[in-house]
Amino acid sequence: MISKRAASLAPSATLKVSARAKELQRAGKPVISLSAGEPDFKTPRHICDAAIKAINDGFHGYTMNTGTPELREAIAAKLKRDNGLSYKPGDIIVSNGAKQSIGFSMLALLDEGDEVIIPSPYWVSYPAMVELAQGKPVFVRTDFDNNYRMTPDQLEEAITPKTKALILCSPSNPTGSQYSEDELKALAEVLRHHPDMYIISDEIYEYIVFDQEHVGIGQVAPDLLSRTLIINGFSKGFAMTGWRLGYMAGPSYVVNAVAKIQSQETSAPSSISQKAGEAAYTNNLDEVHKMQKAFKERRDYIVEALNSINGVRCFKPGGAFYAFPDISAFLGKKDASGKEIKTSTDLCMYLLDEYEIAVVPGDAFGEPTGIRISYATSMDQLEVAMNRLKKGLAALK
């Protein structure tokens, strides 16, 4: 028999749509997928060249469990350069992706029954990570009219004597929402009254912002850094999803606890990937800015296209490469066969089967009135997809 832990863990709620999309693609159907959570660009050449050099130079062995000193120094320099934050290499641990940093942080911080506040819509893995660490996710449902950003009053109301941490993701997956400096300051004021709470600041989309500079809670509230864990990585901003490289910066005692867990579970990430990450942070960001510009153009197009569809509402996301339109007007309608669209999952399966467009249901992210649309694909593909979406939604009665 498998463990109760494994048996109780639900599979990713996005798998149903993605599995069906792959099935249709294998059958030769021209499915356009707007479900991917990864850039459609190639990793910049200078980063690849650094990895090739590492291979040719024989840099093939295990590295320090916490990451190479050179990469952790480069991360510390980046945090100072881009974020104005002072960290020593010993305050940083490199991991096999930001996802691992978050998961191991949960294992390091939580005891059975500890609560973790998660604003919804949320990234699908947050609740599962908390549950695997025997914690309890506490969801704060945010509002479309506030661009799905949690308010200070909502945060205060969710805090109990069992609250151990808050997970805050800005820019957000799945909504693309970005907290302003003033909004973060207001949340920080609440957190100051609860000194036993940790803040997990997921900043993986830091380099994909459009209308304002990225700002994290550590920048607006440096007094909270002693209990803030900054999670970041290379996957999104540098189009390095397959390199599996992320990191956590935080108090050294938490870093040391995570390092103990990492030493038993995986050890350090690939030596080659670490050399690539070092090149990413020690060279200029010209390629990053080119990708950012392309994403902004796509963002502007897709928001306008969505809002031109009768019944759809979509705010302009501040970052990442997702739009999260409200589709509540279509729930309860029926397709041509008379089948009722009861949930956002029903809607996504209908759009996939009948109009060959793959998007992710809001049900997967804790928001039943939305769908996540990734614009990490070409403008040509987006235009075709939006035409299909418009036709598919218009056909519902």
Tell me, letter by letter, the H, E, C secondary structure of the chain.
Answer: CCCHHHHHCCCCCCHHHHHHHHHHHHCCCCCEECCCCCCCCCCCHHHHHHHHHHHHCCCCCCCCCCCCHHHHHHHHHHHHHHHCCCCCHHHEEEECCHHHHHHHHHHHHCCCCCEEEEEECCCCHHHHHHHHCCCEEEEEECCHHHCCCCCHHHHHHHCCCCEEEEEEECCCCCCCCCCCHHHHHHHHHHHHCCCCCEEEEECCCCCCECCCCCCCHHHHCHHHHHHEEEEEECCCCCCCHHHCCEEEECCHHHHHHHHHHHHHHCCCCCHHHHHHHHHHHHCCCHHHHHHHHHHHHHHHHHHHHHHCCCCCECCCCCECCEECCECHHHCCCECCCCCECCCHHHHHHHHHHHHCEECEEHHHHCCCCEEEEECCCCHHHHHHHHHHHHHHHHCCC
**Is the pTM here over 0.85, yes or no?**
yes
- Please tell me the CATH superfamily of domain 4-42+287-394, with its number: Aspartate Aminotransferase, domain 1 (3.90.1150.10)
Where in the chain are all domains bearing CATH 3.40.640.10?
60-282
User: pLDDT of the chain along its 397 residues, tens only?
Assistant: 899 888 888 777 666 777 888 889 899 999 999 998 889 999 999 999 999 999 999 999 999 999 999 999 999 999 999 999 999 999 999 999 999 999 999 999 999 999 999 999 999 999 999 999 999 999 999 999 999 999 999 999 999 999 999 999 999 999 999 999 999 999 999 999 999 999 999 999 999 999 999 999 999 999 999 999 999 999 999 999 999 999 999 999 999 999 999 999 999 999 999 999 999 999 999 999 999 999 999 999 999 999 999 999 999 999 999 999 999 999 999 999 999 999 999 999 999 999 999 999 999 999 999 999 999 999 999 999 999 999 999 999 9
Where does 60-282 sit in CATH, by number?
3.40.640.10
Where in the chain are all domains bearing CATH 3.90.1150.10?
4-42+287-394
